[in-house]
Structure 1
Amino acid sequence: MSEAVSSDLGKKPELMWVSMERIRVDHNYQREIRPQRVAQILREFNWAHFQPVMLAEQEDGTFSVFDGQHRVAAARAHPEVSEIPAAVVRVAGSKEEADAFLGVNINRTAVTTVEKFWAGIEAGNEAMLRVQAVLARAGCEVIQAAGVKPASNKTNAVTAVERSIRTYGEAATVEACKALAAAWSGDTGALGAIYIQALARLFRNNKGAISHERMVQKLRASDRKTLAAQAETLRKIGGGDASVNLSKALCEVYNKQLQQNHITIGVKA
């Protein structure tokens, strides 16, 4: 039996040499430049080893990179290089350009979930737009792939947020992110994957009984390392995954000295 093959080949790219002055990088979705990688390319620069980059032609006559930005950065830094070989495609706007980036890079391990997120936003991906909207309701956002300092209301846990939305719903995910960012305002790792999911579980399963203010207060009185240690102790005693045990630890912290309206971890889904 023959394997399935794509019947939509798209338009053939045009192979050409492009002046460095006409090439730009769209940082809305491109990955962060790694200086060590650029330096390595510079040290070993040789046309026989230089693979053509992939560029998208713009209406103003410039070209944006959707594959090969490290090669572009190295070529731009080389004093004897003024143009580079490229496969140029013509796309209709930034959405198609971001789609092209995803198509080239989606299966590469070097591409992070954050980079895929911003490319997805540019391309109008429904799941990524939903993640962005939920985080915005919580006063939070995904970190930029490059150039933006982390903060307590910024996260790189795109997959965890998306999973939390699917499993526990938008409202619970919003409450979880709001509580974490408020409680650990000085902690740039406040919106960690496991904390978002564990807390969203509690907000979903204890709707009407859980107090947002009390949860923030209890989180603020503790810290991530302490809670992680408590969760690990529970795991050693009873087994289970990290998120479940963190939910249990959060329940213990929340319920301590509480006479009524105790919360429970409940079912996962």
Structure 2
Amino acid sequence: MGDINMEIGAAPELAFINKAQIRVDASYQRPLKEKRVKQILRDFSWKQFGTLMVVDQGDGSYTVYDGQHRHAAACRHPGIIEVPAAIVTLDQAYEEAQSFLGVNINRSAISTVEKYWAGIEAGDEKMMQICSVLEDAGCEVVPPGTKSPGPNRTSSISAIQRSIERYGDWAVTEACKTIVAAWPRDNAALSGVVIQSLARLFKNNRKVIDRERMVMKLVGKDRKILAADAEALKRIGGGDAAVSLAKVLVEIYNKSLQSNQIQIGAKG
């Protein structure tokens, strides 16, 4: 039993609590993501709401450490007075903050999108960075529990995280802006392969690459055909799909260009 924590503490009390009695402790919670609150309101359903994790403050009030955005949405919803909550008692604010961070870490068998939104709730630095980069590009991650594709929505969390680590925030933002502008009606355009390919080109050609030119060259081109061309290159020369697509994009961009041509460059 050495690998099992037996000091699990007291079981939480389950109850419905008036939403006005619940507040957020700003000392450790991250600022609300307004888009996230609005998305919850648009898709509000008790079936998706779940249970808030709150701390009894002993004075008739509670602080929420898991479910901040759901609580904010409930507070704005005119049809809701009480919300379901699991009530725990903690000794100090530090313990509360640790619970806030740990509650989403110890969950498994969830999708990368679910991990992303859990990370946003927990203030995870990497997930917040992804959110910031996408917001700068006018994009967002597909909301959890919904099938809401859109030309500015993505579920490619792992690919975006890798791209940020390899190529930086600016390159990924430029890549996403390019994709949305080039294929405004393509609900699957923000795929991991395309994001990684373009981010690589923006990072390695920052001084010469022109996003407007890249958009102009891609408008009207079928993204699926580009992917097929990249796959053919991959079969011939090996490598991964993102590298092959980057080579295709370089050829398209440089066509008829006499100067300031771009190169595929290092992977990062």
- Length-normalised TM-score, structure 2: 0.69
Q: Cα gap change, 1:88/1:192 in structure 2, threshold over 3 Å: closer, same or farther?
A: same
Structure 1 segment 186-265 matched on structure 2, within 5 A: 186-265=185-264
Structure 1 segment 98-117 matched on structure 2, within 5 A: 99-105=101-107, 108-109=108-109, 111-117=110-116
Shift in Å at residue 169 of structure 1? 1.0
Shift in Å at residue 184 of structure 1? 0.8
Structure 1 segment 51-200 matched on structure 2, within 5 A: 56-57=53-54, 89-90=88-89, 99-105=101-107, 108-109=108-109, 111-147=110-146, 149-200=148-199
2:105 alignment partner AA: G
Q: Distance in 2 between matches of 1:130 and 1:22?
A: 33
Shift in Å at residue 164 of structure 1? 0.7
2:171 touches 2:203 (CA, 8 Å); kept in 1? yes
1:256 alignment partner AA: K
1:13 touches 1:88 (CA, 8 Å); kept in 2? no
- The root-mean-square deviation of aligned C-alpha atoms, in Å, is 3.9
Query: Which 10-residue stretch deviates more, 87-96 or 115-124?
Result: 87-96
Query: Which 10-residue stretch deviates more, 118-127 or 94-103?
Result: 94-103
Q: Distance in 2 between matches of 1:117 and 1:167?
A: 19
- Classify the secondary structure of the residue corresponding to 1:179: helix
For the pair 1:13 / 2:10, whether they are aligned, the reply is yes
Shift in Å at residue 54 of structure 1? 8.2
Shift in Å at residue 257 of structure 1? 2.5
Which whole-Å deviations, capped at 9, do the CAs of 1:165-198 have from their partners, x for residues lacking one?
1101111111101100111111111111111111
Q: For this pair of structures, how many residues does the alignment match?
A: 223
Query: Which 10-residue stretch deviates more, 247-256 or 227-236?
Result: 247-256
1:136 alignment partner AA: E
Shift in Å at residue 58 of structure 1? 5.3
1:143 touches 1:154 (CA, 8 Å); kept in 2? yes
1:218 touches 1:254 (CA, 8 Å); kept in 2? yes
Instruction: Name 2:82's counterpart in structure 1.
Output: none
Gapped regions of structure 1 (runs ≥ 5): 39-52, 67-85
Structure 1 segment 25-44 matched on structure 2, within 5 A: none
Which whole-Å deviations, capped at 9, do the CAs of 1:127-172 have from their partners, x for residues lacking one?
1111111111111122211347222112111221111111011111
Q: Cα gap change, 1:211/1:231 in structure 2, threshold over 3 Å: closer, same or farther?
A: same
Give the % identical residues.
42
1:22 touches 1:63 (CA, 8 Å); kept in 2? no
2:220 alignment partner AA: A
2:171 touches 2:199 (CA, 8 Å); kept in 1? yes
Q: Distance in 2 between matches of 1:115 and 1:125?
A: 13
1:95 touches 1:123 (CA, 8 Å); kept in 2? no
Gapped regions of structure 2 (runs ≥ 5): 20-35, 67-84
**Structure 1 stretches of 4+ moved >6 Å:** 3-7, 27-30, 60-66, 91-95
1:101 touches 1:119 (CA, 8 Å); kept in 2? no
- Classify the secondary structure of the residue corresponding to 2:206: coil
Shift in Å at residue 104 of structure 1? 3.3
Shift in Å at residue 64 of structure 1? 8.7
- Classify the secondary structure of the residue corresponding to 1:172: helix
- Classify the secondary structure of the residue corresponding to 1:56: strand
Q: Distance in 1 between matches of 2:96 and 2:264?
A: 43
Q: Distance in 1 between matches of 2:174 and 2:52?
A: 42
